[in-house]
Amino acid sequence: MQTLNYEGILINNGDTKKVKDALVIEAALQININKEPYTVVMRTPGDDFELIRGLLYAEDIYKEKNTITFEIQEKRENGFSIINATIPKKLLGKGFLNKRTLLSVSSCGICGKQKLEDIAVKGSKLKNHFNFDFQKIEDLFSEMKANQDTFGLSGGSHAAALFNKNYKLLAIKEDIGRHNAVDKVIGDLLLNNTLKNANCMLVSGRVSYEIISKAFIAKIPYVIAVSACSSLAVDFAKEFGICLIGFSRGKKATLYS
């Protein structure tokens, strides 16, 4: 369940009436690594294993192909949960060795970063020789929207979707947080060992630098957003070799890199 019904009063041209609205759930998830608390993420319950897998990948904590063992340690009725990820210590990456206390709210892309150097992402520029058909963008967004069940009920969730080179939908995930939705959809393909097939990522909101960095780490060469792109997102996209498109609405779109 990703929504809950809440009562409200609808005001329309001076008239009022009671209504019941479906609101997207926002609840805390505590992520433990080897029984020790690592971070607390504000997210929409559901696909928690995928969220954790994608987050650990993006934070350079665990990038191996081996399966991670997840254990639900606590699950409350309000959606608050504690999940432990068991990872051999020798396989923990630099992100864990340099670990800091994190508190990630659903709207924040850099919560927990302590220094300017923490936003740097290293790696070779993506080499992409695929000739993307920009006429496909409208159809891709239509397919993503058709699978946004939580948004259809609440109007309050973000989505991220991954497509392959044949424009086939590989996965779509929703969450109250844009970054969480991206972590979930990447984590889904990581758990299925199919991330190498991802060629294009669609996001339902704006694009910040961290969404571009997550795409770069996952080696996804195309990022297309329905809304705006930040200046740093464009700078990073150019540096990383990512084709970044914003304001994709109907037959219009803006190509930034």
Bridge partners (DSSP) listed for residue 102: 39
Q: Specify the 3-state DSSP secondary structure of 149.
A: helix
Confirm if 164 and 219 have CB atoms less than 8 A apart.
no
> What is the C-alpha to C-alpha distance for residues 76 and 7, in angstroms, rounded to an integer?
23
User: How is residue 101 written in tokens?
Assistant: 């206390």
Confirm if 175 and 157 have CB atoms less than 8 A apart.
yes
Q: Please, which residues have CB within 8 angstroms of residue 156's CB and are 6 or more apart in sequence? A: 23, 24, 176
Q: Please, which residues have CB within 8 angstroms of residue 51's CB and are 6 or more apart in sequence? A: 29, 41, 43, 175, 180, 183, 184, 187
Strand 243-249, strand 222-225: pairing? parallel
Q: Please, which residues have CB within 8 angstroms of residue 36's CB and are 6 or more apart in sequence? A: none
Give the active site residues: 108
238 backbone φψ class: left, alpha, beta (φ>0; ψ -120 to 50): alpha
Q: Token pair 């939908």 is at which residue?
A: 169
Q: Which residues of 176-194 are buried (b: 16+ CB within 10 A; e: fewer)?
A: bbbbbbbbbbbbbbbbeee
